[in-house]
Amino acid sequence: MMSPRLATAPLRAVPVEVPVPEEGFAADLRRALAGPVHSISPKYFYDAEGSRLFDLICGLPEYYPTRTERGILSAYASEMAEEIGRGCDLVEFGAGSCSKVRLLLDHLRPRRYLPIDISGEHLEQAAAQLEREHPGLLVLPVTGDYTAQVHLPPPLEGAPRVGFFPGSTIGNFTPAEALQFLRMAAKMLQGGGLLLGADLVKDPALLHAAYNDAQDVTAAFNLNLLARANRELGCRFDLRAFWHSSFYNAAERRIEMHLVSRKRQQVEVGGAEFELEEGFSLHTENSCKFTVDSLRRLALQAGFRPGAVWTDERRLFSVHWLRAPD
Ligand code: AVI
């Protein structure tokens, strides 16, 4: 019996078109407007104007997180240094103007300080100023996105790497991103640990006030996302045709910020047109709130061993010492 034979033709490479998703602000904004999920990353808030508005938010009477965390750091800096140990190699994620680390430096006395931030120019200035204030402290600024791969200088012999991530920025990540970030940090900080600031679940009225301030600075910060699209992408969003909506979603334990269309309107982003209904809501930010236990569980899941926790008297905010694996 003849065995069946397959007809074989010479093999030829056939180009396969794999669609590469477009990246960047314009592409993300188009995707968010088209749906099905009308949400965009809060990272787009932070151009120069957005960073200026955020600095103003930090000083607002209703916005308790910044001053409360600063209070905790000042009150317990020496206890924190006892726990962490002196002479570490200190890495700050999203250091900005390096302002909160100043509360720790005299107690922690790190051998080296590596502030990481996306905004290189601003960081260089802040680092130079810090070096002037702390002669003897080696400051090596690292420009980059700390949620992606950053290349740090090689570790220092005998100086455990300690991370500092204040401000509860961890709350602006999705739960999956938070876990991914903490896993990356646990690896990077092997043998050392992470000092992490996390905002706590509290009376919704206090939360509501913090994200709906009387001077409308938070509203301007939220609307700056569209103003930025006008500046950078040549869009023509009418800012008066949107309102700032911010509320506490108790089931998800988070503040949500949205930009809501006041009317039916047509908008355009890079040649693509979108018809927005009245009430159309673009989800611009989540700010997740934690309990001390929920944060410790998350850290444990990422591979840390949760250590000491410091809070203020009203338990508005928490600072956690998380030991990284050896
Ligand atoms: C940067 N981040 C921790 C702030 C927060 O509270 O979630 C951003 C912010 N959004 C509105 N106000 C402040």
7-29 per-position pLDDT tens digit: 566 667 776 766 666 679 999 99
211 lines ligand 1 (CB under 6 A): yes
Token pair for 232: 């950078």
Distance of CA 253 from the midpoint of ligand 1 (Å): 15
pLDDT over 80 (residue 259): yes
Average pLDDT taken over every residue of the chain? 94
Q: What angle do CA 62, 67, 72 make, to 5 degrees?
A: 135
pLDDT class of 1 with cuts at 50, 70, 90 = very low
Contact 233, 219 (CB under 8 A): no
Of all atoms in ligand 1, which is nearest to the CA of residue 54?
13
Average pLDDT over residues 218-247: 97
260 burial class (0-12, 13-18, 19+ CB within 10 angstroms)?
A: middle
Residue 171 Cβ inside 6 Å of ligand 1? The answer reads yes
Burial level of 6, CB count in 10 A (0-12/13-18/19+)? exposed
Q: How far is CA 36 from CA 31, 42, 91, 260, in A?
A: 8, 18, 38, 16
What CA dihedral angle connects 231, 237, 238 and 240, to 10 degrees?
A: -90
Ligand 1 centroid, distance to 178 Cα (angstroms): 15
Q: How do residues 61-80 score in pLDDT, each as one tens digit?
A: 999 999 999 999 999 999 99
Query: In this structure, are strands 305-311 and 161-165 parallel, antiparallel, or unpaired?
Result: unpaired
Query: Which tens digit of pLDDT belongs to each residue from 220-232?
Result: 999 999 999 999 9
Which contiguous run of DSSP H or E holds residue 242?
strand 242-249
Check if 285 has its Cβ closer than 6 Å to any atom of ligand 1: yes
Q: How far is CA 158 from CA 88, 106, 154, 272, in A?
A: 8, 20, 12, 56
- For residue range 168-177, what is the model confidence (pLDDT) as tens digits? 999 999 999 9
Tell me the C-alpha distance between 15 and 281, whole Å.
41
User: Does position 6 have pLDDT exceeding 70, yes or no?
Assistant: no
Is the C-beta atom of 89 inside 6 A of ligand 1?
A: no
User: What is the Cα–Cα distance from 133 to 143, expressed in whole angstroms?
Assistant: 21
State mean pLDDT over 194-213: 98
Q: How far, in Å, CA of 53 to CA of 218, rounded?
A: 8
Taking domain 5-15+60-202+290-323, whether its CATH number is 3.40.50.150 is answered by yes
Give 123's pLDDT tier (boundaries 50, 70, 90). very high
Using most ligand atoms within 8 A of CB, pick from 57, 97, 246 the residue to mutate for ligand 1: 57
Query: What's the predicted TM-score (pTM) here?
Result: 0.92
What is the per-residue pLDDT for 2? 45
Q: What percent of the chain shows pLDDT beyond 90?
A: 87
Q: Which of 155, 149, 21 minimizes the C-alpha distance to 88?
A: 155
| Residue of higher predicted confidence among 155 and 281 | 281
CA–CA gap between residue 324 and residue 51 (Å, rounded): 31
Atom 2 (ligand 1) nearest CA: 169
- pLDDT band at 239, cuts 50/70/90? very high
Residue 35 burial (10 A CB sphere; 0-12, 13-18, 19+)? exposed
State in Å: Cα 269 to ligand 1 middle. Answer: 26
pLDDT at 11: 66
Residue 30 makes CB contacts below 8 A (sequence gap 6+) with 22, 269, 270, 272, 274
Give, as one character, the DSSP assignment of residue 39: B
Residue 150: which pLDDT band, with cuts at 50, 70 and 90?
Answer: confident
Residue pair 170/319 in contact by the 8 Å Cβ criterion: no
Ligand 1 centre to CA of 285 (Å) is 8
Residue 217 near ligand 1, beta carbon < 6 Å: no
| Model pLDDT, residue 256 | 98
287 lines ligand 1 (CB under 6 A): yes
Whole-number percent of the chain with pLDDT over 70: 94
Return the ligand 1 atom nearest residue 210 CA.
12
